[in-house]
Amino acid sequence: MRQDGICNMVKRIDAHRTLERKDIALLEKLFDREFRQVSAGESLWREGENADSLVFLQAGWACSARYHKDGSRQLLEIFLPGDVLGLCRIALSDRRTDAVMLTDGWISELPYSSLLELFNESPNTAALLFAIANQRMAMLAERQIIMAHRSARERTAHFICECHTRLLETGATCREEFLLPLTQQDLADALGMSAVHVSRTFSHLAQEGLVYRNQFQLVILDSDRLKEMAAFDDRYLRIVWNDEMSLANADQAFREPPQALQGLLDEL
């Protein structure tokens, strides 16, 4: 049970670039601390609170959201098992969103101070976390692109494709059918549309034989046509290292301090 979550994280990264055993071990040590059970609806943090830790989602789904004065809400990010929450406020002071569990789950918290140690000790693994943060950024960017000019149908299709792809990468045992634990209201808040229209949209998608949703079960009927309508290109999700920043390079650099910057530091 405990190891599964780390496995998810490692597996996902490893799918694209083989990690060295050392790095895996370091990640496991870093994240495999006391886990806490949390239940659906439970808040992980609130807007305005001091941001001083990462949350590692070992099992369950979560999301980050902004609440407006008028009672409406915008879901910003969806977190799946194996994801890390809070990477976007590292180094900045306070939370700018709420974070809420969508399902029951298990989490562990990692204070930023440990992270700082990591920065010092292993630029290797630090670059890895940077990559994960970069992937989150890519998701935000892609969401914005999709939200701006695409129709409700396309947005919905894209969202489903994204969730499905991300789930598959954690090695979940789902192929064309999986659990999407969001109510239509949640989906509406995530996709920037009304709950009623989410309902309509799913009806249309079902009519066209693309996806079928019942309760929280989601069945993808025609994956190819769905991806086509969503103009879904999964490249933005792929964690593929830049050679300049690759683990191998970082590792080497870690062992043999570079010349260029050393010169600068000496001067100061």
Partner DNA sequence: ATCGTGCGATAACTTAGGTTTACTTTGCCG
Partner DNA sequence: CGGCAAAGTAAACCTAAGTTATCGCACGAT
94 secondary structure, DSSP code = B
DSSP H stretches of helix in 45-111: none
Give the whole-angstrom CA distance, residue 87 versus residue 65: 15
- Does 74 participate in binding DNA (rule CB under 7 A)? no
* Nearer residue to DNA within complex by CB, 103 or 183: 183
Q: Quote the least distance from Cβ 93 to its own copies, whole Å.
A: 4
Distance of CA 136 to the CA centre of its chain: 6
Residue 121: count other Cβ atoms within 10 Å of its Cβ: 12
* Nearer residue to its own copies within complex by CB, 15 or 206: 15
Which one of residues 151, 217, 242, 252 is an interface residue with DNA (CB under 7 A)? 151
- Does 193 participate in binding DNA (rule CB under 7 A)? yes
Which one of residues 25, 141, 145, 196 is an interface residue with DNA (CB under 7 A)? 196
107 touches 36 (CB < 8 A):
yes
Q: The tokens 């999407």 sit on which residue?
A: 180
Q: What string of H, E and C letters represents the secondary structure of 239-268? A: CCCCHHHCHHHHHHHHHCCCCHHHHHHHHC
Site track 197-216 with DNA (rule: CB under 7 A), x = hit: x-xx-xx---------x-xx
Task: Specify the DSSP element, H or E, that contains 117.
Answer: helix 112-121
* Nearer residue to DNA within complex by CB, 120 or 215: 215
Q: Quote the least distance from Cβ 265 to its own copies, whole Å.
A: 6
Q: The tokens 């490249």 sit on which residue?
A: 235
Q: Quote the least distance from Cβ 193 to DNA, whole Å.
A: 3
Q: How many residues bind DNA (CB under 7 A)?
A: 19
Task: Specify the DSSP element, H or E, that contains 11.
Answer: helix 2-14
Q: Considering CB distances under 5 to 8 angstroms, the limit depending on partner class, which of DNA, its own copies, none binds residue 67?
A: none
Give residues in contact with DNA (CB under 7 A): 151-153, 183-185, 192-197, 199-200, 202-203, 213, 215-216
